[in-house]
Amino acid sequence: MTDKISIGVVGAGAMGRGIVQLFAQAGHPVRCFDAQPGAAAKAVEFVLGMLQRNVEKGRLAANEYEHIRARLAVAEELAGLAGCQVVIEAIVEDLGAKRALFGQLESVLGESAVLATNTSSLIVSDIAAGCSRPGRVAGLHFFNPVPLMKVAEVIAAVRTSPETVRLLKSITEGAGHRAVVTADQPGFLVNHVGRGLYTEGLRVVEEQVASPADVDDILREGMGFRMGPFELLDLTGLDVSSRVMTSIYEQFQHEPRFRPSSLVAPRVAAGLFGRKSGEGWYRYEKGELVKPVPRGAPALPAGLKVWTEPEGPAASALRTLAANAGLMVVERAADADLVIIQPWGMDATTSALSLKLDPSKTVAVDPMTPFELRRTLMLTAATSSQVRDAAHALLTSDGVAVTVINDSAGFVAQRVMATIVNIAANIAQRGIASVADLEDSVKLGLGYPHGPLAWGDRIGGARILAILKAQQQATGDPRYRASPWLLRRVALGLSLTTPEVTR
């Protein structure tokens, strides 16, 4: 009963199976081939098993299951894909193997057939270059597990025709996934934006600002990320992630924003891959993550005099907290035993000195993370241990968790957010994708609560810029240089989602 185009899937592994399921469920006749004898049949069996479970749970009608089953076929040889209008390749991630396969497919398929690769890290144009009809070749990058991750990147290689992009977009959206179009650039869209969380998280740990578990807690609980960078690295496996980090850095011609951390190679060499090896940034017992025991809160000293910077967003909440804890709130910093500031961008030391405060009595609380959710307490290098403990005790006196970190321009959350927004702004600047595709791909592919440019707007573009400038000044590292996209929109008071006028 179908007028849907027929689809071939080559490679019946984790991704191939998901792709087979997605398109068969969407009403396409799907044929699956794998070089390993029996693998395609096993994949089809696996997909039918998944669908059978859906029937049992009442999510799929029994007659619909039968229709899908009738639409699924195993190709015993590559030639069995003859007549398919689109073939999606999900074989081993190896340029030589993919090129050889595409060459064979061209001789099997009709001239108008489209060939799509699910590669995550190769340059699609490199695969297409071995083909006689490169206009019909593109990337179609799904995420694991395919039926649940409702986004796919359609990668327009240099010679890909607009019709090929349109066809892939239409079958993907017809299957209920959001299809975002991206240029053939390293990491495409989702893995490109995703770099920020890892590179900056690793940099924070490298500089001894905070521990991996602290970084994860701050970002998960304070910012709404589903997982922190170190939890994610442990899940993916540091051996795998390390190769991705290096490949994206190499493909971007050593762009400092993507410079991998020197912390990684020794840990990979030592086998600290993460969950699969039982130890990574965390330890795992029987597959369960063993959380490090948080440092207990010190006791609150009586009679302490507290001053809070009046401009800080949590100034009044801090004063209430101090009063409720029985401490005295004073009007002049010079009269206080504990001085609390809330800088954007600047580190605690520079802020204390610029405000002419005593650095030994000064601590900083991150204004980025909502005060009621989680608090990050940053010290100057001169903060006394008594002041540190008093501030820690005060900040957790209403039961909210506190993370104590060392001095850093932009704390943890500000640094990571500024990095993510800046990378996204540069993707927009380079026209790798439209703003709408960029924003949606990140929400759907990475599960971030907002698109990165809209998130930058919520924080404030000017603040993002201030954080980047402060980091660049503090470290001299060009990785923090702001994208022209960000600079211009902040200067003009425009939303970071404002497209170029020519587009």
Ligand X SMILES: NC(=O)c1ccc[n+]([C@@H]2O[C@H](COP(=O)([O-])OP(=O)(O)OC[C@H]3O[C@@H](n4cnc5c(N)ncnc54)[C@H](O)[C@@H]3O)[C@@H](O)[C@H]2O)c1
Q: Which residues bind ligand X (CB under 6 A)?
A: 10-16, 34-36, 39, 90-93, 97, 101, 118-120, 142-144
Burial label, 311 (beta-carbon count in 10 A; 0-12, 13-18, 19+) = exposed
Closest CB to ligand X among residues 188, 258: 188
* Interatomic CA distance for residues 137 and 159, integer angstroms: 8
Three-point CA angle 357, 362, 364, nearest 5°: 115
- Return all residues near 332 (Cβ < 8 A) that are at least 6 apart: 307
| Beta-strand pair 288-290/305-308 | unpaired
Min separation Cβ 35 and ligand X, Å: 3
Min separation Cβ 494 and ligand X, Å: 35
* Interatomic CA distance for residues 407 and 33, integer angstroms: 56
- Active-site entry in 6, 28, 89, 191: 191
- Active-site entry in 118, 120, 247, 408: 120
* Interatomic CA distance for residues 111 and 127, integer angstroms: 17
- C-alpha distances in Å from residue 86, one per residue of 83, 143, 166, 318: 9, 19, 12, 61
* Interatomic CA distance for residues 242 and 67, integer angstroms: 43
Taking the CB of residue 503, how many other CB atoms lie within 10 A of it? 8
Min separation Cβ 108 and ligand X, Å: 12
What sign has the CA pseudo-torsion 310, 314, 317, 319?
Answer: negative
Closest CB to ligand X among residues 19, 402: 19
- Give the tokens for residue 206: 């490298």
The yes-or-no answer on residue 192 being catalytic is no
What b-and-e string marks burial along 198-224, b requiring 16 or more CB atoms within 10 Å of the CB? bbbbbbbbeeebbbbbbbbbbbebbbe
Give the DSSP H/E element, type plus range, for residue 487: helix 484-492
Closest CB to ligand X among residues 14, 270: 14
Closest CB to ligand X among residues 118, 362: 118
The yes-or-no answer on residue 120 being catalytic is yes
Min separation Cβ 127 and ligand X, Å: 10
Closest CB to ligand X among residues 280, 359: 280
Closest CB to ligand X among residues 118, 471: 118
- C-alpha distances in Å from residue 99, one per residue of 82, 89, 122, 143, 168: 18, 11, 11, 22, 20
Radius of gyration of the chain measured on its C-alpha atoms: 26
> What is the greatest pairwise CA distance in the chain?
84
The yes-or-no answer on residue 191 being catalytic is yes
Closest CB to ligand X among residues 19, 368: 19
- Active-site entry in 28, 141, 192, 392: 141
Min separation Cβ 106 and ligand X, Å: 14
Closest CB to ligand X among residues 144, 495: 144
- Active-site entry in 153, 231, 309, 439: 153
Query: Do 292 and 339 form a contact (C-beta atoms < 8 A)?
Result: no
> Closest residue (Cβ) to ligand X?
13
Min separation Cβ 292 and ligand X, Å: 28
The yes-or-no answer on residue 231 being catalytic is no
Min separation Cβ 250 and ligand X, Å: 16
Strand positions, DSSP E, 282-348: 283-285, 288-290, 305-308, 328-329, 338-341
Min separation Cβ 19 and ligand X, Å: 9
Query: Do 350 and 409 form a contact (C-beta atoms < 8 A)?
Result: yes
Residue 145, preceding bond cis, omega within 30 degrees?
A: yes
Min separation Cβ 445 and ligand X, Å: 10
* Interatomic CA distance for residues 425 and 464, integer angstroms: 11
Min separation Cβ 153 and ligand X, Å: 10
Q: Where are the alpha helices (DSSP H) in 57-147?
A: 62-71, 95-108, 124-128
Closest CB to ligand X among residues 143, 455: 143
Closest CB to ligand X among residues 25, 119: 119
Strands, sheet with 305-308, edge to edge from the N-terminal-most edge strand: 328-329, 305-308, 338-341, 362-365, 375-379, 402-405
Provide the annotated active-site residues: 120, 141, 153, 191
